[in-house]
């Protein structure tokens, strides 16, 4: 199985396709390839697609169970170093957009383009308390517990409660970008947000990153790229955008 040592993590990743490299950055409760199921086939025919599991997630392994988006961004730059990749296209979803923002602002020379799906300009903690382990147990949501146990067993070694505490803490603190940080993002950027996404809007993102392209998906919420939502439309939009990046 494809593992690579990055910092103090044995990082799991999957690789598909050939061409310029796209690094896919997944969301809080997900893991690498799971967050981008609708993108696998359309993108691997033209691009080399890398789907890592972040520290604390999926099949990646680390003794330290703590993590946050900035630490993961550093892991991803080190992952690129270990894979001997100079520059990548980034495609991030939800938490993955925070990771992408930090990568593009701290190491702009390493990012060829950045596509963000479901991004926001500041933390939106509303609703996060519902995902604390005590709340999950209180409402007896055994299906969610089993999902988190099996999806992230290698990463949290059965301590799904700590996984949720770390997730909620990250949800409440990120993204955390100053105006100076935003100005350091120089690569071509595409922001895609659903019309009813409570985590952010295209208008807010455009104000922070004026050179970005924006696309609001009518009738959609936080995950327009999913196969059961507007996956086909979003794939064409991103692929067309990537063709314009020199």
pLDDT digits (tens, 9 = 90+) for 108-140: 999 999 999 999 999 999 999 999 999 999 999
- Is pLDDT at 1 greater than 70 in this prediction? no
Sheet of 189-194: strand order equals: 3-6, 9-16, 48-52, 21-25, 88-93, 111-117, 189-194, 213-217
Per-residue confidence (pLDDT) for residue 114, from 0 to 100: 98
Closest to 25 (Cα-Cα) out of 74, 106, 91, 83: 91
**Least confident range of 22-31, 130-139, 198-207, 222-231:** 222-231
Q: How confident is the model at residue 92 (pLDDT cuts 50, 70, 90)?
A: very high
pLDDT digits (tens, 9 = 90+) for 134-173: 999 999 999 999 999 999 999 999 999 999 999 999 999 9
pLDDT digits (tens, 9 = 90+) for 7-46: 999 999 999 999 999 999 999 999 999 999 999 999 999 9
- Is pLDDT at 187 greater than 70 in this prediction? yes
């Amino acid at each position: 199985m494809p593992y690579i040592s990055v910092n103090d993590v044995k990082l799991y990743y999957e690789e598909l396709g050939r061409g310029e490299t796209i690094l896919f950055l997944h969301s809080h409760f997900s893991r690498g390839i799971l967050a981008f199921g609708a993108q696998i086939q359309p993108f691997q025919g033209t691009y080399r697609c890398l789907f890592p599991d972040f520290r604390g997630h999926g099949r990646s392994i680390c003794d330290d169970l703590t993590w946050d988006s900035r630490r993961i961004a550093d892991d991803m730059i080190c992952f690129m170093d270990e894979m001997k990749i100079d520059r990548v296209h980034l495609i991030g979803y939800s938490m993955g957009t925070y990771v992408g923002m930090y990568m593009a602002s701290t190491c702009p020379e390493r990012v060829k383009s950045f596509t963000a799906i479901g991004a926001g300009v500041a933390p939106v903690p509303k609703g996060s308390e519902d995902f604390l382990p005590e709340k999950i147990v209180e409402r007896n949501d055994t299906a969610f517990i089993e999902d988190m146990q099996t999806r992230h067993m290698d990463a949290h070694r059965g301590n799904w409660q700590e996984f949720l505490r770390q997730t909620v803490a990250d949800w409440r603190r990120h993204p955390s970008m100053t105006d100076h940080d935003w100005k350091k993002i120089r690569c071509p950027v595409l922001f895609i947000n659903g019309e009813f996404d409570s985590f952010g809007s295209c208008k807010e993102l455009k104000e922070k990153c004026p050179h970005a392209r924006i696309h609001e998906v009518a009738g959609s919420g936080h995950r327009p790229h999913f196969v059961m939502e507007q996956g086909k439309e979003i794939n064409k939009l991103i692929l067309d955008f990537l063709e314009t990046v020199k």
